[in-house]
Amino acid sequence: MTRIGFIGLGNMGGPMAANLAGAGHTVQVFDLVAQNIERAIAAGCIAAGDAREAVTGCEVVISMLPAGEHVRDLWLSEGQDLLAALPVGALVIDCSTIDVDSARQVGEAARARGLRFIDAPVSGGVAGAAAGTLTFIVGGDGADFESAKPLLACMGQNLFHAGTLGAGQIAKMCNNMLLAIHMAGTAEALALGVKEGLDPAVLSTIMGKSSGNNWSLERYNPWPGVMENVPAARNYQGGFMTRLMVKDLGLAMALAEHGHSAVPMGALARNLFNLHAAQGQGGRDFSSIVELYLDKQDPA
């Protein structure tokens, strides 16, 4: 069994740490939010007073934080010098979705300290994190990917090596840009049919067995009342926050600029999710984008 440090116990990190503890590993956890630590303790993890205490003596450390600035702050801030708290040869796995430069910066700093590093962003949502069925998309040395596999398999079902350091993030950005596009498209198609009198559940079933089928429709239906156990069934609480999707679309746009790639659909999706976030919806699940398409009552 492995001694693992786990930093960041939010919507995703919480259930991921719980699955590692459930598999019998010793999991030392830290988060800035006390309630998240308490939930992890209830799932069999060991609380640490700060990030340094969480990673001390660990062979593997996993971070699951919102964005690149949080990951850089955690791993590169001089005052904390977290990398120095790890034994030489330890493996750092960052599962956050962040910009490629930050992933490479942290990876190179870790390597300079005699540590190993892989970027390992995930796909599959909160339900996948809870069920241990996530997809891991890894960038880094092939040998480090191989050695991480048994632990990643406690949290996920599909493990992919995308390429060298940062490649996991590039693949993840391509995926999330596509996700944003088919979520917005699914919401738009459902709203069109419902406005013409169709039942959203019937329309979902029809499109799900037709050429319009996609993950947003089939597994994460945005229309309330169509599916159980998705954010639309609980007023879009939990899940993947709109502000995180806006962040990911920003990362995809930066990538497109870097390579002079044309991404007109991605740019449009980014504008839609940005507009939605600007209307105060940043903290709700991204499938609440469907509300942009609903008729609002005229003020009396």
Point out the residues that are catalytic. Answer: 172
Shortest CB 252 distance to ligand NAD, Å:
12
Instruction: Output 121 or 140, the one with its CB closest to ligand NAD.
Output: 121
Q: Which residue is nearest to ligand NAD (CB)?
A: 10
Instruction: Output 121 or 203, the one with its CB closest to ligand NAD.
Output: 121
Shortest CB 97 distance to ligand NAD, Å:
4
Which residues bind to ligand NAD, rule: CB under 6 A? 7-13, 30-33, 36, 51, 64-66, 70, 73-74, 96-97, 122-123, 125-126, 239-240, 244, 248
Compute φ and ψ for 296, nearest 5 degrees: -95, 145
Shortest CB 137 distance to ligand NAD, Å:
10
Shortest CB 68 distance to ligand NAD, Å:
9
Q: How many Å apart are CA 14 and CA 144, to the nearest integer?
A: 24
Instruction: Output 70 or 203, the one with its CB closest to ligand NAD.
Output: 70
Instruction: Output 23 or 32, the one with its CB closest to ligand NAD.
Output: 32
